[in-house]
Structure formats: structure tokens, C-alpha cells
Amino acid sequence: MNRLNEQAQGVYVIALTPFTETGELDLDSTDRMVDFYLERGATGLTVLGMMGEAQKLTIEESRTYVRRILRRVDGRVPVVAGVSAAGFAQMQALTTMVMDDGAAGVMIAPPSSLRNDQQIVTYFRQAAEFIGDTPFVLQDFPLVTSVTIPVSVIQAIVDEVPTCVCLKHEDWPGLSKITALRKLSDAGESRRISILCGNGGLFLPEEMARGADGAMTGFAYPEMMRDVVHFHRIGERDRAQDIFDAYLPLARYEQQPGLGLAIRKYIMARRGAIATPALRKPGGALSPADIADIERLVARQENRLKEIG
Amino acid sequence: MNRLNEQAQGVYVIALTPFTETGELDLDSTDRMVDFYLERGATGLTVLGMMGEAQKLTIEESRTYVRRILRRVDGRVPVVAGVSAAGFAQMQALTTMVMDDGAAGVMIAPPSSLRNDQQIVTYFRQAAEFIGDTPFVLQDFPLVTSVTIPVSVIQAIVDEVPTCVCLKHEDWPGLSKITALRKLSDAGESRRISILCGNGGLFLPEEMARGADGAMTGFAYPEMMRDVVHFHRIGERDRAQDIFDAYLPLARYEQQPGLGLAIRKYIMARRGAIATPALRKPGGALSPADIADIERLVARQENRLKEIG
Amino acid sequence: MNRLNEQAQGVYVIALTPFTETGELDLDSTDRMVDFYLERGATGLTVLGMMGEAQKLTIEESRTYVRRILRRVDGRVPVVAGVSAAGFAQMQALTTMVMDDGAAGVMIAPPSSLRNDQQIVTYFRQAAEFIGDTPFVLQDFPLVTSVTIPVSVIQAIVDEVPTCVCLKHEDWPGLSKITALRKLSDAGESRRISILCGNGGLFLPEEMARGADGAMTGFAYPEMMRDVVHFHRIGERDRAQDIFDAYLPLARYEQQPGLGLAIRKYIMARRGAIATPALRKPGGALSPADIADIERLVARQENRLKEIG
Amino acid sequence: MNRLNEQAQGVYVIALTPFTETGELDLDSTDRMVDFYLERGATGLTVLGMMGEAQKLTIEESRTYVRRILRRVDGRVPVVAGVSAAGFAQMQALTTMVMDDGAAGVMIAPPSSLRNDQQIVTYFRQAAEFIGDTPFVLQDFPLVTSVTIPVSVIQAIVDEVPTCVCLKHEDWPGLSKITALRKLSDAGESRRISILCGNGGLFLPEEMARGADGAMTGFAYPEMMRDVVHFHRIGERDRAQDIFDAYLPLARYEQQPGLGLAIRKYIMARRGAIATPALRKPGGALSPADIADIERLVARQENRLKEIG
């Protein structure tokens, strides 16, 4: 049985939610996308995340979508589901639903109303009570949540809540936070949990060097993350960085607030991973100039990858 | 058939969601509460609002609760349901659910991500497309949503979206906004919609004088709102204000951010409208000093009401 | 020598900044206003606060204004000056300026960028280093600063920073915060500092009952605050509340965000304390309907005060 | 006479404020830094910007610093000064000060309190009244100001306020905004103003392609911006992008919120442009791991620049 734990590593791809041109769930594309991710090195998938248009689905659609993902994955890698919700009862219901269907764990981001250390610790303690023994990922994403979680608070949560097994690190970029957390666990002062990094992978080489275990993000070229993690692991840090640098111009372009998801879907459709780049309303739309930018960056990226071999 | 329209007036009470001590929906109290509100002058009810702990319910619980309300109301007054949601699909599903069950309309607040005029108009136009011909209340509550909606934007929404039939006014207090909207509709430059005021009723006499049609808020003494609206209607403005002033010390106390709902539930339980003041987690809890404050204010209020006859 | 300390009590009025109709500092009105406040019970004055239009003054004007205030006060009561600034060097320069001119202490609000406990404590520790031995008031006003300061953080600041002698309490209303702080100091676990309450005085009776030492706010009827504090002190709590209730309808009206300062200046001009209600741009302007509201509330207030004797 | 106008182009470097190790203004380094920027292609300088630690200076220090800059520049390029302030009187005083000393224009960012279109237009109209005929740059930086300015509002400001001559574009990245503005001015529907781009230069090639006139940002390698602008101008877009890509890994690292300025100062000190990387409190400090990251990225950057010739 796949159950998320402190050893999570590699590349947990934040999965897209494919739609048809008319805005329906595209389940065939969902299958194809799962294969695409796994063939390119995903060691896990994360669904219903902020960049997965989760908030645009009804509960019934969420269930249909997650079940389809789980069936296609068929136990090959663990699947984590975002269950952040306005209330604990909803979070609990969503957790029960996805865990019953075979998910490996859930992911929880703090609500933006939290404003001090004690509120944050209390929130995660209460959330953990509601979801029982389900292992969870603590999503630390201040740019979106506007909640800043200091190292001491993460440590307090890890100490008090044994089901917190992983940190989705996207305190932008917060390299020193990784360093501090690893120092604490190396010194035996805190349980060592998995740290997987977000932010579109834009700081992945440096994050790996600080002690991260991998990536949890959705850049349309998962092979970049796979290779950076791999070459870092085997000590070839320059090789890791060469590959990263080749993808960086496009990764940077994809990481634009507001437009990023439309760009990501465009590339995924272009690569054949999904049938169409359609977003559900409200969603950004690419202009011809945007598409020209992407095509140019993709062509340059391919050239550069050939150059570095 | 009760269907919300531009003639809505009087007192639409924002209904509580009663829970048992163990955190379950308390459906018997729900019945009792409905009777309590209607006996004290409610001309409508609003459920699943921000102060109704709606966000703490699962979808199934929301349905159970709304159905119970609707059955007890049994067509005596219109019932409006809050359907604000992170995505349009959820909003649509929730709207279909409550309207099928007999609600008169829905209420929609803008998401806090909206940052300029065009975004706000577009949001409500798209929302209206998703909910079809369902009449809706536009909730204008900047203190909570952090979205400030200028008069020109409200006018644009009213002009473009015929299903927008009511404004829940709680731009704090925004008396000039009521004046401006009424000037526009009186001059025939904009459709006249209903304006019902929130903010715990703290500005109700002045709001009525500016042209509001009533209140939509949840102060634990609905009779205050009923009387203020009534005496204002029949031209006895001083009488309206005398009654208002008698309730004001407690109304002010109830309107405390963070603690307000716990105070409201305490009073409602004290008045026999619900069995227990329990809130679902996370929720504020009253200290003995808080309760002493309330008891003192209630006693003084009763004296003052006797004095003014 | 008047130097602010932990024994501060009574009514520290947040002073207006009077302007002429053409937007110049009105220094004659400044004198008159000082007399007005002192004759109505002010035991201290606070200048350059958020409601004093401090941010609309140049440095030179701030100096001119503060000097005029200090000369007129002439040592009769302590004067506190707001020195919140974007940087510590400015805060230091402003502090030196006002203290050299004879102020009793300064007031500091946290910048809205602070997002966790340690950041808040560090900020006040650094601020205290910059202003040397100057006693200061910690302004706790989450509604405006969006910084929520838990009791434990206030305690940490009080423990680490001996020059923190007073809390301007306007965590809305945060009665339990006063209770908790007093419990700590009564138990000898924390130094007892002065607690003076803001929020336009809207919760003053309850705040006094929880252990506050008085008010620090700018309601245009300082005699309300004086009397509430006085009668509470001598144990006549009902009398205190009767007086409070008589002023409450107007105090509530004055406390409107956006428009509050214009209302306050209108009343102060009406009472003869300043020559004209002019605000510097950008500033709210009262409509005829607003003025009619105020006149009505003032007339009712006078009647009610007569009734209660 | 250098006076900022709609033809501004090239690279306006956001200048650092150099301090000594003990936190004093370092005026010798200020001279050296000016030479450094001008030798590497600056066609203008912008001082007292958000990344210039302007908010940490007293008024007197601001004056001393700006005068030193202006004396060293000695008319070779135009100098723009940030004058964003909490009030118009301060903005006016600061503008008078820097313009009297020889600045070419000023830069104004909207205060975060602005929440709708009309408020934004009104703010800039009033600001322009206060600063008279001084030409100004409109800083559009939502990530920091949290004010989102739609194209129609920029157009309204350009139409109503003739002294608005330049847009500092850092709506992240808002490429479509540049496209829309250029379409309007190309069609003769709006005055064409200069567009200079910020965001650390992270989108400069694409911004140039959309019609920007250059950069206004402070990346520690101004030659990157110079070359990208130059090669784009002469039609060698691939060459521009090759150079950009070589600098991108470091530019990305420098653009970290919270730590970015410390990184920039470290590189500038390393390059000999300033004596020491000291920041005034409060300011981020680099760890040994951060410095190792930078050294690694600099070395790789130098190699890559050699490769592309």
C-alpha cells in the first residue's frame, strides 16, 4: 500500500485538470496525462492543488477526477490530494473520500485568516484531528496564502502532529528555511520530514543543495525536475545545473501569475499530454503574441538541450 | 411562489446554524429558530451566510440544513441562500440544489482576488450566466471581502445583469452609496433594486432614511429591526430611533469581530431560540467576563425598553 | 518633567490637526483645540496619530504643529507623538525632534509587513534601540495595520523592552486581551504597563471593567470618556454606562471608516474648538444628508443627557 | 537641461544606497557606483526607489544622497527620484527638493489603500496637481502595492495628466498590458508614453518585443540590460536572448523577495562598485550557503558568457 511518509522524494507532479473545449472534465486526457507524467519521471502525483483548477470543480467532479487518476496510476506511485477547504467538516469529508478511493495522503494550506504563530499551530492541530491518521503535506506558500510560517512554527507542528510528514516548500524561495529545518532534524531536535519544493521549480538546484528531497510542482517538462534531482543525487551538480539552465527561460515564462496555468496547459497540449489547453472560466487566455513567445522559447530550449547533450 | 425580486423589504434575518454540544447539526433547534425569527417580524430568511457558519458544513449538511429550514418556513417567507464559492461550478451546483428545494434566490459575494472595476463586473456577469435565471443578492461587504465596489460598478451590474435584484449593503456604512443608488434609480438612470442592510443593524435608522428597504442581518433581537423599519415607514422617525438606541449598546457588543457569532448564539440560546450556543470548531468561546457583560447589557436593555414604553 | 510611564491613565485625546479652508496649518485653532481638550478632562494628548492627518504633513509642518501644541499645553499634561515611519532612521529623527521639543513619549504602530511573532518582537526591539531611552506606546490596531499581536508577544515585548510603558489597545475590541494582560501582571509574571483604549471609545465601559486605565482616542466629546473613566473609578458603574449610552449613537456614527475624521472635525468646529472642519486632500467630505444625520444625533444626545441629569 | 519625457529609453538603473559597515551613508561609494552604472550603459538613474532603501533614510540623508548622485552624474544622464509618500504635502516637498537640485523627474507608486478605478485616477490627478509641471513616472507594481491598474485606467491617467510621461512596468509580467498600451498609442487613441520595465529584468526580451523602450531596474549587471535593449533594437533578437539567458540564472537568484537587495549589494561590492554590501536595519543578511550559491552562479555566468562570445 502506498501511504505518504517522511521518505517521500523525487518528483511529485502537480497534475493538471484537463477539460474539453466545452468545459467538461476530459477523462481520456486525464489518462494520457497520467502516463505522460509517469513516463517522464514522476515519483508521485498531487491532484486538486491550487494550479489544478480544483476550486472550479464540483464535489462530484472532484471525486470523478480523482478516481480516474487513481485507477490509471493503479498503485504505481503515491497520489496526494489537496483538501484545503473553508471548514474542517469539508476538509474531513474530502479526505475521507480520496483516502477511501486510494490516495496516499492529503495536502493542506493554511487559510489566509491566520495571523500569528499560535493560530497556525492550532489550525494544523485541529485539522489533523479532523482527518485522523491520514498523513498530510503542509503547504507553505506565503505568496498565495499570505501566511508566513516561521521555522519554529513548522517545528512545533512537526513535533505535535505526527501525521505531518512532508513540507511543500514554496516560501519564495526560502532557501534558508530548508537549511534551518535540516539543521534541526540533523541535530535530532526535530523529526525529519520530507521537503518537496514548489514555485515551478525555479530554485530547484539550490533547494536540492540545501537538503530538499525533490520537487512538487507542475512545470510542463517534468523531465527537468527528474534530471535535476537525479544528477544532484549522484553528485553531478554542474550537470544538474546545466540541464536546469536550459529549461529556465521557459520555466520562468510559465511561472507568470495569472497566465501561468494557460501557458502550462498550452505546452502540455502541444506535447500531446492532453487533448486541448482549455481552462474553465474564469481563466487566462493566451494571445497570439504569447503563443509566439512560447514557441520561440521551446525551439531555443530544444537547441540548447542538444548542445549540452 | 416565493421568488426574490426587486420589491424585497423588511427584515431578512441572517439565520444561525444551530449545532449540538458535540458539533452535530441541531435540526430541532433549527425549527425552533425559524419560528422565533418569524414570530419576531422576519419577512425573509437568509441561510448559509458568512455568519451562519456555512463554511463549516459539508455539502450534505448544507443540503440537510437548508431543506429543514425550507420545510419549516413552508412558503411563509422567502428564503435566500448564500452560494459564494471558490468556483463557478460549485456555485452553480449549490444554486441548483437550493433552488430545487424551494429557495427564493441566492446571495453572492465577490472573491477577494478582484482588484478593479472590470474584474468585478465580469465576475458577476459570469456568475449570473452559471446560475441561469435565479435571482440573486449582491453582497457588498468590503470589510470581509476587501473588494470595494463603487456605485458605478453596482450600476453596471444592475444594468447588465437582470437577475441581480437586491443589494446586501454593508459597505461600512456607506450611507452615501445608498443615497447615490437611489438618486440613479429615482432619475430613471438605473433599475431600482432592493437594498437591504447588514452590519448587525448598527446604522439601520440612517440607512432607512437614505432609501434602504430594510435589513438583512442577524442581530439576536430581530424585533429591533422590525420596529425600526416599521416606524420609519410610517414616518415616526424619532420613535424608530428611540427603539434603536435602546438596543444599540448590545448590538454594538454583538458586532465584535471574532467573537460576535458566539455572543449572538449565547443570546439566542438564552432567549430559547436554540438549545445551546455551541459553535463548530474553529469558533470563539465566551469567557465568564464576556457573559457577565452580556447579562448586564441585556438587563439594562430591558429596563430601557420599559422606559420608552 | 512630564515623561510618559506605566502609570498613564485617564483620557489621552488623539488630537486633530486643524487646517484652514485653503489647507494651511491653522495654529490659532490648534491653541483653541488644546484648551478645549484640557477643559473637558484630557489628562494627556496624543498628536501625529493616524486620525490626526499626520501623514499629510511635511516634516517641517509636523515640527511646527507639535511645537505649537507643546507651547500651549505648557507642561499641564503629557503629550505623546506618533512616530511610526517607514524606516528606523526617520522614526529616530522624528523622536529626537519631538522629545527635544518637550514631548513625554512617542507611539509606534507595527508596519503591515510583519507576519509572525518573532518579526513583531524583533521590530519593537530594534525600534527601541533606535529611540534610546524614550518611553513609548505600543499601538495595537489590527484593523488598520493588519498585524495581530497575541498576548504572548505583547508580554515578550514588555519583558524585553523596558521603554514600552503603555499599550494603545484597539484590537477590536479584544476585551479578553486586556483580561489576559492584567492577569499576567497581577500574578507578577509581567511588568504592569498602562492600557489606554482606542476605537473611538466604543467599548470603553467594558474595557475599564477589564482593567484598562483609560482611553486614548479622539471622539469629539472628550467629556464622555472623562466621565466614563471617572464614574468607573469610583465604583458607579451604572452611572458610567448611562453616560456612555447617551453618547453612543453619535460615537458610533463618528466611527465610520473613511468618513469618521470629517465627522469629528465637523463636530469640533460646531463646538467652537476649531475654526473650520477642513480636511487636507485626500479627505472625505460630508454631504448635506450626513450633516443632517449629525445634527439630529447631536440634538437627541443633548436631550438624553438632560434626561439622565 | 535633462527633463524626463516620453522619449525615455535604454536602461534606467535603480540605484542602490550605499552604506558603511556602521550604517552611515557611504558617499564615496555613491560616486563610484554612479561611474559603474554609467560605464555599463545606464542611460538614466532612478534613486530613492523601493529597492534603494529610500524608506530607511531621513529627509536630510535623502537630500544629501540625491545631491551627491546629481553632482557626480553632472548632467550626463537624467536622474529620476522616487517621491512616493504617505501624503501629498510630503510628496510635494520631496519633489521640490529633488527638482531644485537638478533631478529630471520623479516616480510615484499608488498607495495600497486604492481599491477601484476612480480612486486610482483621482489619486494621480491630485498628485500631479501637487507636483506642478514636474514630469513623473507612474510605477505599476501590484506585487508590492497590491494595486492592480487596468489598461483603461493607465489610459485615463495619460489622457488627463500630461505630466505622466513614463510607465515603470512591473505588473508581473503583464506582457499583454504593454501590447494593449502600444496598440492604443499606435492607433492614435492615446498619447505614447515611455515604457520602462522592472522586475529585475526577468522578462526584458519579451517586454522589448511587445514595445517597451527599455528597462528600469537594478540587476547588478546593467550590461545585461544594455545589451538586450541594444541587440533588440538592431533586430538581433536571438543574440539579445542568448545574452539574457546567460545572465538569467543569477538574475533569477537576485530577484528573491526579502533577500534580493542583500544579494544585489553583495554582487555590487564584489564587482567593486561599492565598498561594502552593508544594509541598514532591518535588512536581510546572507548566509555562507547563500554566498556559495552566488559565487557558483557568477562563475557559471562568466563561463557561459565566454561560450557565447
Give per-residue pLDDT as tens, C57-77. 999 999 999 999 999 999 999
Mean pLDDT of A127-150: 94
CA-to-CA distance for C255 and D110, rounded, in angstroms?
Answer: 26
Measure in Å the smallest separation between the Cα of D117 and chain B Cα atoms: 6
For residues B179-199, give the mean pLDDT.
96
Q: How many CB pairs under 8 A join A and B?
A: 59
β-pairing, D214-217 vs D194-197, is parallel
Whether residue D216 is annotated as binding a ligand: the answer is yes
As a whole number, mean pLDDT of residues B277-305 equals 94
Q: What is the pLDDT of residues C278-308, one digit of tens each?
A: 999 888 889 999 999 999 999 999 999 999 9
Task: Nearest chain C residue to B250 by CA: give it.
Answer: C245
The Cα–Cα gap between D267 and D269 comes to 5
Least confident span in B109-113, B125-129, D32-36: B109-113
Give the tens place of pLDDT for each residue, D92-112.
Answer: 999 999 999 999 999 999 998
- Give the pLDDT band of residue B2 (cuts 50, 70, 90): confident
pLDDT at D172 over 80: no
Could you tell me which residues are beta bridge partners of residue D166? Answer: D137, D194
* Nearest CB to D287; choose among A179, A287, A293: A179
Quick check: B173 pLDDT over 80?
A: no
DSSP classification of residue A201:
G
Q: Do C117 and A115 touch (CB under 8 A)?
A: no
Tell me the average pLDDT across D274-286.
Answer: 90
Which residues of chain A does D204 touch, with a Cβ-Cβ cutoff of 8 Å? none
| A152-184 confidence digits (pLDDT tens) | 999 999 999 999 999 999 987 689 999 999 999
Tell me: the pLDDT tens digits for A39-67? Answer: 999 999 999 987 678 889 999 999 999 99
Give buried/exposed letters for C80-99 (b at 16+ CB in 10 A, else e). Answer: bbbbbbebbbbbbbbbbbbb
pLDDT score, position D282: 81
* D163-168: average pLDDT: 98
Strand locations in A134-235, DSSP E?
A: 136-140, 164-169, 194-197, 214-217
Mean pLDDT of C18-31: 96
Distance from CA of B233 to the nearest CA of C (A): 18
Residue B174: count other Cβ atoms within 10 Å of its Cβ.
26
**pLDDT at residue A236, as a whole number:** 97
User: Residue C177: its pLDDT value, please?
Assistant: 96
Statement: residue B87 has pLDDT above 70: yes
Q: How many helices (H) and strands (E) does chain C have?
A: 12, 8
Q: Which residues contact B306 (CB under 8 A, 6 or more apart)?
A: none
Q: pLDDT at residue D189 above 90?
A: yes
Q: What is the pLDDT of residue A300?
A: 98
Per-residue model confidence (pLDDT) at position B285 = 87
Q: Give the three-state DSSP class for D297.
A: helix
B143 band by pLDDT with thresholds 50, 70 and 90: confident
What CATH architecture does domain B10-236 belong to? Alpha-Beta Barrel (3.20)
For residue A1, pLDDT over 70 is answered with no
pLDDT of residue B275: 98
Predicted pLDDT at D193: 98
Mutate to test the interface with C, among D48, D53, D84, D88 (most CBs of C within 10 A): D88
- Residue B252 has its nearest CB partner, among C238, C248, C256, at C248
* Spatial CB neighbours of D231, under 8 Å, sequence gap ≥ 6: D237, D239, D240, D243
Report the gap between the CA of A120 and the closest CA in chain C (Å): 10
Interface list for chain A against chain D, based on CB atoms closer than 8 Å: 172-173, 175-176, 179, 202-203, 206, 209-210, 238, 241, 244-245, 248-249, 252-253, 256-257, 259, 287, 289-290, 293, 300, 304
| Measured distance CA(B153)–CA(C93) in Å, rounded | 44
CA distances from A227 to A202, A236, C54, D293 (A): 14, 10, 57, 20
- Taking alpha carbons only, the member of D244, D263, D246 closest to residue D254 is D263
Q: Do B116 and D142 touch (CB under 8 A)?
A: no
**In this model, does residue C49 exceed pLDDT 90?**
no
Low-confidence winner among A104-108, B110-114, C245-249, D127-131 (lowest mean pLDDT): B110-114
**What 3-state DSSP class applies to C105?**
strand
pLDDT mean across residues, chain D = 95
CB neighbour list of residue C226: distance below 8 Å, 6 or more residues apart: C10, C11, C40, C41, C42
Least confident of A169-178, B30-39, C233-242: A169-178
Distance CA B131, CA B94 (A): 9
Position A31 scores a pLDDT of: 98
Q: Which ranges of chain C does DSSP label H, i.e. alpha helix?
A: 27-39, 59-73, 88-100, 117-131, 142-145, 151-160, 175-186, 204-210, 222-233, 237-254, 260-270, 288-308
* Separation of alpha carbons B17 and B149, rounded Å: 29
Mean pLDDT along residues C121-135: 97
Average pLDDT score over residue span D250-258? 92
Say what the pLDDT of residue A50 is: 74
Amino acid B172: pLDDT: 76
Q: How confident is the model at residue C2 (pLDDT cuts 50, 70, 90)?
A: confident
Residue of B nearest to A95 (CA): B58
pTM of the prediction? 0.94
Q: What are the phi and psi torsion angles at B169 (to 5°)?
A: -90, 110
CB contact under 8 A, C55 and D93: no
Convert the pLDDT of each residue in A288-304 to its tens digit. 999 999 999 999 999 99
pLDDT at position C146 = 86
**HSE (side-chain half, CA atoms, 13 Å) at A68:** 22
Q: Give me the pLDDT at residue C235, please.
A: 97
Integer angstrom CA distances of residue A51 from A46, A99, A169, B114, D59: 10, 21, 15, 18, 45
Q: Return the amino acid letter for D149.
A: I
Q: What is the CA radius of gyration of chain D?
A: 19
Q: What is the pLDDT of residue B50?
A: 74
Q: Strand, helix or coil at C236? A: coil
pLDDT at C95: 97
Per-residue pLDDT, averaged over C141-164, amounts to 94
Q: Is there a contact between D98 and D136 (Cβ–Cβ < 8 Å)? A: no
Q: Please give the residue that has the higher pLDDT: either D283 or D304.
A: D304
Distance in angstroms (rounded) separating the CA atoms of residues A214 and A7: 11
| D146 vs D230 pLDDT, higher one | D230
Work out the pLDDT band at C54, boundaries 50, 70, 90. confident
- Yes or no, beta carbons of A115 and C152 under 8 Å apart: no
CB contact under 8 A, D142 and B115: yes
pLDDT tens digits along D44-65? 999 998 767 888 999 999 999 9
Pick from B90, B123, B281: CB nearest A88: B281
- Res B113: pLDDT: 85
Please tell me the predicted confidence (pLDDT) of residue A241: 98
pLDDT greater than 60 at residue C80: yes
The grid coordinates of residue B286 equal 465566551
> What's the complex ipTM?
0.96
